[in-house]
A and B are shown apart, each in its own frame.
Chain A
Amino acid sequence: MLNFARYKNNALMKILVCISHVPDTTSKINFSADQKEFSSAGIQFVINPYDEIALTRALELSEASAGTVTVINVGDATTEATLRKALAIGATDAVRIDAAPRDAYFTAVQIANYAKDQSFDLILTGRESIDYNGAQLCGMLGELLSMPSVSVCKKLDLNGNDATLEREIEGGKEILTCSLPMCISASEGMAEPRIPNMRGIMGARSKPLNVVAAVAADELSKVQSYDKPKPRGQVKLIEAEKATELIDLLHNEAKVI
């Protein structure tokens, strides 16, 4: 699968970035009357913020090595605006797998099927999508494509075929090394997202956006219903002068300290 000769010839670095189409972070979330579906009325959709970080780092790396960055999304035609935005930010080309994604496994099967013959050097995802928050795609792609995977990376640097990564762990970090190809999920710190400029937006219209048919995948999970957290009761206000009272309440009433 891995073609080492390409690196010797200084051939192009090929990067795939997985893009999720999610409600803007300021969105108020609502569901259909039967609680089974997300209600998208009045919702502005954006590139998942962590995917935007991954995309930006991919562009920085490909600019340094004169490579290509392909963005991919599994979704219906409504997600094309999100892919066009990724093209405006600087991606080389885009792929939309034409299907309504059922769960992370379905999405992973589609992307792995597309990627398996394309010899990508690097596959990047966001650490999680801000809608389902599953944080599943990176590891699933790694397993499906027999590649190493490292989740929640705050730094990614390349020296030819060798990647140096910084992964978040509880209370600290790990510095890791790995040879490409590999799958990485990006977290805050890896790059500062870019805002597309007018030239990028104009150019994005003529960049290729290929629509690919989906393949079959087993249905392993199904969302039965959604609901929202119960609102908290009335806030109990304590006078600023009486901070001691707060400690009493936290100890005797809330029993958390």
Chain B
Amino acid sequence: MSVLIYLEHENNSLKKSTLEAISYAYAMNGGKDIFGVCPGNTDSSLATVAGKHGLSKMYKATNVNSFNAESHSAMVSEAAAKCAAKTIVIPASFSGKGIAPRVAIKLKAGYVDSVVALPDTSNGFTVRTGAYSGKAFADVSLLSETKVLSVAANVFSAKENAVNCEVEEFSIADSALNNRVLIKESIKAEGKISLPEAELVVSAGRGMKGPENWGMIEELASLLGAATACSKPVSDADWRPHSEHVGQTGIAISPNLYIAIGISGAIQHLAGVSSSKVIVVINKDPEAPFFKAADYGIVGDAFEVLPKLIDAVKKFKGA
């Protein structure tokens, strides 16, 4: 049975979360019948990269352009009909999560968001996802014939499985081209690593005493090639933007490495970062609850530890 992937790109380059979604679909379907769909504002290099990761055929909707939840969800559901896809795999990015519920309704499909494992098909179709904002996991069965899954970022690594990817152009029905939402401006911070997709994250809390001290955090992050994040009190005080707030009411992340500096580790914060693979905590209070949830810890003042750490990373990177 075919699987269809929603392919997201930025300036003609497939996004990391999309490559991860292709790898997920490839593993789920044993490398067979892996289809993808993307809008028309792309060139042939997209299919080359998609094929390298195992995509056998790419549908390109020539009359669909930049992101719009209505037209992109219509594009996915029309492509699903073309390849008779029974499972739709969507990267759990901001845009992916915007269209997945619409696709699910169009296809009368059950939908599980941000899955963290391949489906278990030994008895029906059950798939694992986070619940209670990182405090738990839920195993959810989908009972519908067609299924929609969004795949959590940074859980499956993108693998190369080179095949020849065929391209078929199509246009979606005019009635589905409902571009009622218009993009006026797209603003991207240059050279910044996107936090939800980041493999390494350097995060800091109130222990940094004020926004003027974030230079060290940014220097460490930039040396490591990490994204920066912060705790809730820090974004509430406007020391850092809300988009950097990780935790139960911020974003949940699962990087390979999470370095928490001057964050005590309230239950709400831990919930958002507990699925990080390795956690390092730097805090001057040896009783900080975060040490109980950490793999490595340094008890010490951030203002003394950070310069040493920055020097150590410089030496390591220079070596």
Interface residues of A (CB under 8 A from B): 23, 25-29, 31, 38, 49-50, 103-105, 108, 130-140, 142-144, 148-152, 154, 164, 167-179, 182, 187-189, 218-229, 232-233, 235-241, 243-244, 246-247, 249-251, 254, 256-257
**Cβ of B70 under 8 Å from chain A:** yes
Residue contact A250 to B257, C-beta cutoff 8 Å: yes
Residue contact A140 to B252, C-beta cutoff 8 Å: no
Residue contact A229 to B278, C-beta cutoff 8 Å: no
Residue contact B180 to A179, C-beta cutoff 8 Å: yes
Indicate with 1 or 0, residue by residue over B293-307, a CB within 8 angstroms of chain A CB atoms: 111111111001100
Indicate with 1 or 0, residue by residue over B276-318, a CB within 8 angstroms of chain A CB atoms: 0111110000000001111111111100110011011101100
Bound Cα distance from A140 to B43, whole angstroms: 32
B139 CB contact (under 8 Å) in A133, A224, A239 = A224
Least Cβ–Cβ distance between B204 and chain A, in angstroms: 16
Residue contact B194 to A136, C-beta cutoff 8 Å: no
Size bracket of the B interface? 35 or more
Bound Cα distance from A234 to B132, whole angstroms: 24
Please report the number of residue pairs spanning A and B whose Cβ atoms sit closer than 8 angstroms: 275
Residue contact A221 to B112, C-beta cutoff 8 Å: yes
Given A134-B113, A257-B200; A148-B139 close (CB under 8 Å): no
**Minimum-distance CB pairs A-B, first 8:** A240-B300, A139-B101, A220-B110, A243-B308, A171-B194, A172-B188, A170-B194, A143-B105
Residue among A108, A143, A178 with the most chain B CB within 10 A? A143
Least Cβ–Cβ distance between A45 and chain B, in angstroms: 13
Instruction: Tell me whether chain A's interface is mostly helix, strand or loop, or mixed.
Output: mixed
Bound Cα distance from A27 to B256, whole angstroms: 27
Residue contact B296 to A238, C-beta cutoff 8 Å: yes
Given A221-B141, A232-B279, A237-B297; A151-B105 close (CB under 8 Å): no
Residue contact A131 to B131, C-beta cutoff 8 Å: yes
